[in-house]
Amino acid sequence: MTDHIATHLTPDELDNWLAGSLARNREAHLHACADCRRLADADRALAHLIGSLPLFSPAEGFGDRVMARVEIRHRARPLAIAAALAAGLLLPMAASVAWSLAYPETLTQLLQGAGSGIGGLGLAAVRSLGTTLLAQPWYPWVHGLFESPARLGLVFGASAAAYAGGVLVLRRLMALPMPRVAHVQG
Amino acid sequence: MAKPGIDLAIASDQDVVLEARAGRQAAYRELVRRYERPIFSLIYRMVRNREQAEDLSQETFVKALNAIESYRPEYKFSSWIFKIANNVSIDHLRRRELDTLSLDGSPHALTPEAIQASALQLGDRQETALEELEAKELGGEIEAAIATLRPEYRACILLRHVEGRPYEEIATMLDLPLGTVKTYIHRARGELRQALAHLRQ
């Protein structure tokens, strides 16, 4: 086995020495070995020399020139979106409740009138729609699809798959394109 | 535009990035303010030309800030932007083949004549103010010695000793194995020790 004390410091150990974390037995070698000492001192001087190099500044207005080319995307925060949705739902509801409390008689009259009118109109519309539907040439075929539970399951499965596919396609289409960032080559 | 939130001057990089992602223009400016000098210095020492360094630094920031949505906060922002800066510099050097040129001549030149022939002849013509500034800024012995290093060594040694980045972070920034980064830095130190030996004597 190699005598650990006798062998010269490896580059990693020189790094450890620079960082002040060289093992004690290797410190002993460093003190005893003139070659390692010379190398370590040279590395320390070099590190100090490079570390004391100044930072340079770009020409004035650099920030403005960068900002002129940066595309700032305004992304709404999740909290702001939630607040906007809540306000959009709650405000009309609150206004409606307040109006109802302020004018209860008017509301009652409106509801009674609308109820009878809308009821009659709605019934007529449903009847007309039903008659039209039954008269369509494709109605018996569609009706056939619902005659057995197996067919019904197939119809629902196909519909769910088509829906999920549509949602995925929409999400892909609506995703914002991301600019490419350079990566190290080789 | 998002309302001013946190104090950007004292916020961490991650927080400033979050503000930038929310569309706060001041956050973008803060990131530029924080990194313009380190990034410009790295690129300037890589390409050794002020005008090109300005353009490449701009390119670095524009790339980084326009892709701020793709930045992953589990990594340091500084690592990310230095990585882009290094890529931009290396790409540029490869394009222009500046890696074989330095103020002291090609490191591959073996004879004094070849060194002379490949050296940048700053005194041969009327220097512009910009060139004078470059010669003054980068004219020191250590800067000239760094310029003779291979670009990969140069990037590693600058990130290690000017930026004080740990080996692991440099490996992440440069997409290199940790062992390769260590080797590059040790070799760079060896070459610099040799180049600057006369100073010690």
Q: How confident is the model at residue B12, as a pLDDT?
A: 92
Lowest mean pLDDT among A13-27, A78-92, B67-81, B155-169: A78-92
Return the pLDDT at B156: 96
Higher pLDDT, A28 or A107: A28
Q: What is the mean pLDDT of chain B?
A: 84
- Answer whether A43 sits within 8 Å of B189, measured CB to CB: yes
User: Could you tell me if B119 and B103 are in contact, meaning their C-beta atoms sit under 8 angstroms apart?
Assistant: yes
In chain B, where are the structural domains located? Answer: 13-95, 101-200
Q: Which helix (H) or strand (E) holds A152?
A: helix A149-174
Percentage above 70 pLDDT, chain A: 88
Question: Scanning the structure block, which residue is given the tokens 């793709």?
Answer: B70
| CA separation, residue A68 to residues A100, B26, B56, B74 (Å) | 54, 13, 15, 29
Residue B1: pLDDT band with limits 50, 70, 90: very low
Q: List residues of A whose CB lies inside 8 A of any B CB.
A: 11-12, 15, 42-43, 45-47, 49-51, 53-59, 62-63, 65-67, 69-75, 77, 176, 178-185
- Taking the Cβ of residue B16 and every Cβ of chain A, the question of whether any pair is shorter than 8 Å is answered with no
The answer to the question of residue A184 being in a domain is no
> What is the per-residue pLDDT across B3-47, written as a single tens digit (0 to 9) for each?
457 889 899 999 999 999 988 999 999 999 999 999 999 999 999
Range of the domain at A22: 3-52
Task: Specify the length of chain B in residues.
Answer: 201
Contact criterion met (CB < 8 Å) for B157 and A50: yes
> If one looks up domain B101-200 in CATH, what number appears?
1.10.10.10
Mean pLDDT computed over A48-58: 92
Q: Which residues of A touch B91 (CB under 8 A)?
A: 182, 185
Instruction: Enumerate the residues of chain B whose CB falls inside 8 A of the CB of residue A72.
Output: 20, 23, 25, 28
pLDDT of the residue at B200: 64
Cβ–Cβ of A62/B200 closer than 8 Å? no
Test mutation, B3, B15, B31, B36, chain A, max A CBs within 10 A: B36
Q: Where does the pLDDT of residue A186 fall: very low under 50, low under 70, confident under 90, or very high at 90 and above?
A: very low
Residue A181 banded pLDDT, cuts 50, 70, 90 = very low
- Highest mean pLDDT: which of A8-17, A53-62, B192-201? A53-62
pLDDT above 90 covers a percentage of chain A that reads 18
Q: Is B65 on the interface with A (CB under 8 A)?
A: yes
Chain A CB within 8 Å of residue B26 CB: no
pLDDT tens string B57-97: 999 999 999 999 999 888 899 999 999 999 999 999 988 86
Helices (H), B97-161: 112-118, 129-138, 141-147, 151-161
pTM of the model: 0.63
What's the average model confidence in pLDDT over B135-154? Answer: 86
Give one DSSP letter per residue of A62-89, joined into a string. HHHHHHHH-----PPPHHHHHHHHHHHH
Cα–Cα distances in angstroms (integers) from residue B41 to residues A9, A12, B58, B124, B137, in the given order: 33, 27, 13, 27, 11
Indicate whether B121 pLDDT > 50: no
Q: How many domains does chain A have?
A: 2
Around Cβ A88, how many Cβ atoms within 10 Å?
Answer: 9
Lowest mean per-residue pLDDT among A17-26, A58-67, A96-105, B139-148? A96-105
The answer to whether the CB of B89 falls within 8 A of the CB of B151 is yes
- Out of A30-34, A59-63, A111-115, A151-155, the most confident range is A59-63
Chain A residue with minimal CA distance to B201? A42
Does the model's ipTM exceed the 0.85 cut? Answer: no
In a domain, A156, yes or no: yes
CB contact under 8 A, A73 and B23: yes
| Identical fold, B13-95 and B101-200 | no
Residue A160 is assigned to a structural domain of this protein? yes
- Using CA atoms, how far apart are residues B71 and B68, in angstroms rounded to an integer? 5
Q: What pLDDT is recorded for position B114?
A: 55
pLDDT tens for residues A127-150? 888 888 888 888 888 888 777 788
DSSP helix, strand, coil percent of chain B (3-state; round to 5): 70, 0, 30
Mean pLDDT highest for which of A51-55, A75-79, B100-104?
A51-55
Using the predicted structure, report yes or no on whether residue B100 has a pLDDT greater than 60.
Answer: no
CA nearest to B41, candidates B143, B186, B145, B190: B143
Q: Is residue A75 part of a domain?
A: no
The beta-strand segments (E) located in chain A are none
Chain B positions in Cβ-Cβ contact with residue A179 (cut-off 8 Å): 63, 66-67, 70
Judge: B44–A45 Cβ closer than 8 Å, yes or no.
no
Region B133-159: mean pLDDT is 86
pLDDT tens for each residue of A86-126: 888 888 888 887 777 777 778 788 887 777 777 778 888 88
Fold of B13-95: Rna Polymerase Sigma Factor; Chain: A (1.10.1740)
